[in-house]
Chain A
Amino acid sequence: MSPISRGFHRRHEEAEPAGRVPPGQYVTHDFPVLSAGPTPHTPLANWTFSIEGGSSPASWTWQEFQALPAETVTVDIHCVTRWSKLDTSWTGVSLDVLLDAVSYDAPYVLAFCDGGYTTNLPVADLKGGKAWVAYRYGGNPLQPEHGGPARLLVPHLYFWKSAKWVRGLRLRETDAPGFWEMYGYHMYGDPWKEQRYAGD
Chain B
Amino acid sequence: MEGTAVRGRLTWQTATVSAVMDETPTVRTLSFEVPDWAGHRAGQHLDIRLTADDGYRAERSYSIASAPGEPVAITVERLDDGEVSPYLTQDVQPGDEIELRGPIGGYFVWDPPADMGPLLLLAGGSGVVPLRAMLRHRARIGSSVPVRLLYSVRRLPDVIYHSELTAEPDGVQVSYTLTRQQPPGWTGYARRVDQAMITELAWPEGQMPLAYVCGPTNFVEAVAADLVALGYPPQRVKTERFGATGTP
Contact = CB atoms under 8 A, between A and B. Distances in A.
Interface string B94-107: 00111100000000
Contact of B87 (A1, A2, A4, A8): A8
Contacts of A10: 52, 54, 56, 58, 83
A30 to B, nearest CB: 8
Interface in B63-93: 82-83, 87, 91
A11 B49 contact: no
B161 interface: no
Contacts of B56: 9-10
B50 interface: yes
Interface residues of B, number: 20
25 contacts: A1-B2, A2-B2, A2-B12, A2-B14, A2-B51, A3-B51, A4-B51, A4-B52, A5-B50, A5-B52, A5-B87, A5-B97, A5-B98, A6-B96, A7-B87, A8-B50, A8-B51, A8-B52, A8-B58, A9-B52, A9-B56, A10-B54, A10-B56, A11-B82, A11-B83
Contacts of B98: 3, 5
Given A8-B51, A8-B52, A10-B52, A3 B99 contact: yes
What's the dominant secondary structure at chain B's contact region?
mixed
Contacts of A5: 50-52, 87, 96-99
Interface of A: 1-11
Contacts of B168: none
Interface string B43-57: 000000111111011
Interface of B: 2, 12, 14, 49-54, 56-58, 82-83, 87, 91, 96-99
Contacts of B2: 1-2
A57 to B, nearest CB: 40
Contacts, number: 46
Nearest to A30: B81
Contacts of A3: 14, 51, 97-99
A4 to B, nearest CB: 5
Contacts of A11: 82-83
A6 B87 CA distance: 10
A1 B87 CA distance: 21
Nearest to A5: B50
Given A10-B83, A11-B83, A4 B53 contact: yes
Nearest to B90: A7
Contacts of B87: 5, 7-8
A5 B88 CA distance: 10
Contacts of B50: 5, 8
A5 B84 CA distance: 11
B150 to A, nearest CB: 28
A51 to B, nearest CB: 37
Residue among A3, A5, A9 with the most chain B CB within 10 A? A5
Contacts of A8: 50-52, 58, 87, 91
B32 to A, nearest CB: 13
A1 B98 CA distance: 12
A9 B87 CA distance: 9
A80 to B, nearest CB: 17
Contacts of A7: 87, 91
B84 to A, nearest CB: 8
Nearest to B48: A5
